[in-house]
Amino acid sequence: MKSDGQRARRVVVKVGSSSISGDNSKQIKPLVDVLSQLHRDVQVVLVTSGAIATGLPFLGLGERPSDLALQQAVAAVGQHALIVRYQQALDAHGITAGQVLLTSYDMDDPVSRKNAQRALDMLMDLDVLPIVNENDTVATQEIHFGDNDHLAALVARLINAEQLILLSDIESLRTAPPDQPGSEPISFVGFGESLSGVEFGASSSKIGSGGARTKVEAARLAAEAGVEVVVTATPKFAALMAGEQVGTRFAPNPSPHIR
């Protein structure tokens, strides 16, 4: 939870494609087990990647296609399968999921953004766990978020969350790629603190679209609105919720003007 010991009222948790697809699809159950505990205490929104990665084997594809129409078709298949897997894991905890698919237009247009906010508010008030993803089936390059770290930051701002947790295959941000000499983990980034001189490598995943740099950009976007951000690996989620100091924490803006 929040590092000052206070319990956050609303928390957004984002999980990357590489954490819940392919051989790592087995991580969905332990992820949901922790989410369900969190859900009992606060209002939670899960932002999940993985529609395309989940759909690949159903269509006999080995890697993410470059063709947009094929991406959209794979996403349509994978999104359904992904939600079924989440709901099956949630059934053990008596929690109902609500699927919310968004495009960047929904977040840019004032009317659509307000509708999305109302829908998420109502789902949480009904004790439903909203599961948000980009609507890859209709999104085009012109209206694409680019990565779900960015989407998660926008959702955190939209619902006035106190905390955003970015889960992936990255345990923490580092001063340089892990395979380089002198690479050290970064445990804390103060609000407005410069990370100049820090080198960020791309994600090691071949099926996701994010990486360390996108997480920094998303963290800054959320922190500007007063949201505390933690970046860590999916298997570390339980330890984080148990109060252990894991990953990289971005301090929130102490005087946010707008969310």
CATH of the domain at 232: 3.40.1160.10
Binding residues for substrate: 49, 136, 148
Binding residues for ATP: 14, 168-169
| SS (HEC) of 158-179 | HCCCCEEEEEECCCCCECCCCC
165-195: per-residue pLDDT in tens?
999 988 888 888 778 888 888 999 999 887 7
Would residue 250 count as lying in a domain? no
| Structure tokens, 148 | 């779900």
pLDDT category of residue 100 using cuts at 50, 70 and 90? very high
> How many domains does the chain divide into?
1
Would residue 34 count as lying in a domain? yes
Binding residues: 14, 49, 136, 148, 168-169
Element housing 11 (H / E)? strand 10-15
203 pLDDT more than 60: no
pTM to 2 decimals? 0.90
> Which residues, including other chains, have CB under 8 Å from residue 157's CB and lie 6 or more apart?
221, 222, 225, 227, 259
The residue segments making up the domain with residue 111 are: 10-245
Give counts: helices (H), strands (E), the chain. Answer: 9, 8
Torsions phi, psi for 97 (to 5 deg): -95, 150
Would residue 255 count as lying in a domain? no
Would residue 215 count as lying in a domain? yes
Would residue 4 count as lying in a domain? no
200 pLDDT more than 90: no
pLDDT category of residue 86 using cuts at 50, 70 and 90? very high
Residue (of 58, 57, 154) closest to 100 by Cα position:
154
120-170: per-residue pLDDT in tens?
999 999 999 999 999 877 765 543 566 799 999 999 999 999 999 999 988
Residue 129 CA to chain centroid, in angstroms?
A: 14
DSSP assignments along 98-154, one per residue: EEEEE-HHHHHSHHHHHHHHHHHHHHHHTT-EEEEEE-TTT--GGG--SSHHHHHHH
60-69: per-residue pLDDT in tens?
999 989 898 8
- In angstroms, the CA 134 to CA 75 distance is 10
pLDDT score for 195: 75
* Better pLDDT: 143 or 240: 240
Would residue 259 count as lying in a domain? no
C-alpha distances (whole Å) from 135 to each of 12, 15, 30, 218, 253 are 18, 16, 25, 19, 30
Would residue 79 count as lying in a domain? yes
Would residue 256 count as lying in a domain? no
